[in-house]
């Protein structure tokens, strides 16, 4: 497989990932390079925990009453004791990876403080965000091998799918970007 940068792409889990933590997932790739591998967050698996519970757990004050209704997401099986905020616009936070001009991934607690404050509807906090617990990671060449083994489909990401569509409809919306229906996917056929 030729070297391809899948940063700012979606990974669509194929049916062959049954009984995996990635079964039925849509993963947004934040960073990908031949030398360091790939890193992303699952964007369609809300947990039963809320952002309010996370903020209480890490002792970040919260002034907004809506935090109890904002879900946390399973971001992947790596560093499940850490929070990751995928947001737009990227902004100027303590530890942000700008994925493109529109989307950033932040791991510093300053963004969580802004999300929990009264000013989060103003210019201090990102306009759109999801908060994940953990992330998905691949060593160099691992993701490429998994794609060759027909574990994933990839497509250029559309931020609107992450931020404007309900989580239970995101996977289908990403599939539609490449003209694939969930009904047409099967785990019993060939390799990519």
Residue 177: both structure tokens together: 């970007």
pLDDT of residue 183: 67
CB atoms within 10 A of CB 131: 25
pLDDT of residue 93: 87
Is pLDDT at 171 greater than 60 in this prediction?
yes
Beta-bridge partners for 132: 73, 84
pLDDT tens across 91-146, in order? Answer: 888 899 999 999 999 998 888 878 776 554 444 567 899 999 999 999 999 999 99
Q: Which of 122, 12, 110 is nearest to 55 (CA)?
A: 110
Report domain extents, the chain: 9-86+128-184
pLDDT of residue 3: 63
pLDDT of residue 68: 61
pLDDT tens across 59-91, in order? Answer: 666 665 655 678 899 999 999 988 899 999 888
The span from the CA of 187 to the CA of 150, in Å, is 8
Q: Which CATH architecture has domain 9-86+128-184?
A: 3-Layer(aba) Sandwich (3.40)
Is pLDDT at 173 greater than 60 in this prediction?
yes
pLDDT tens across 4-37, in order? Answer: 899 999 999 998 887 789 999 999 999 999 899 9
Helix (H) or strand (E) holding 71: strand 71-74
Angle (CA) 14-7-34 rounded to 5° is 95
CB atoms within 10 A of CB 137: 17
Distances from the Cα of 17 to the Cαs of 80, 87, 152, 175, 180, in angstroms?
20, 27, 9, 16, 17
pLDDT of residue 86: 96
Dihedral in degrees, nearest 10, Cα atoms 46, 13, 28, 166:
-40
Tell me the DSSP string of 85-150: EEEES----TTEEE-SSS-EEE-SHHHHHHHHSGGGGTTTS-SEEEEEEEEEEE-TTHHHHHHHTT
């Amino acid at each position: 497989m030729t070297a391809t940068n899948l940063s700012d792409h979606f990974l669509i889990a194929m049916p062959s990932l049954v009984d995996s933590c990635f079964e039925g997932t849509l993963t947004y790739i934040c960073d990908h390079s031949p030398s360091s591998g790939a890193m992303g967050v699952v964007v369609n698996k809300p947990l039963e925990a809320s952002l309010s519970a996370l903020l209480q757990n890490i002792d970040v004050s919260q002034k907004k009453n809506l935090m109890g209704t904002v879900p946390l997401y399973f971001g992947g099986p790596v560093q499940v004791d850490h929070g990751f905020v995928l947001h737009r616009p990227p902004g100027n936070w303590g530890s942000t990876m700008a994925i493109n001009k529109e989307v950033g991934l932040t791991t510093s607690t300053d963004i969580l403080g802004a999300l929990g404050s009264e000013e989060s509807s103003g210019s201090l906090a990102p306009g759109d965000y999801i908060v994940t617990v953990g992330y998905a990671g691949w060593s160099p060449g691992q993701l490429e091998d998994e794609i060759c083994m027909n574990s994933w489909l990839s497509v250029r990401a559309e931020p609107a799918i992450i931020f404007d569509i309900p989580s239970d409809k995101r996977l289908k919306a990403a599939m539609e970007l490449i003209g694939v229906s969930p009904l047409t996917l099967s785990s019993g056929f060939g390799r990519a």
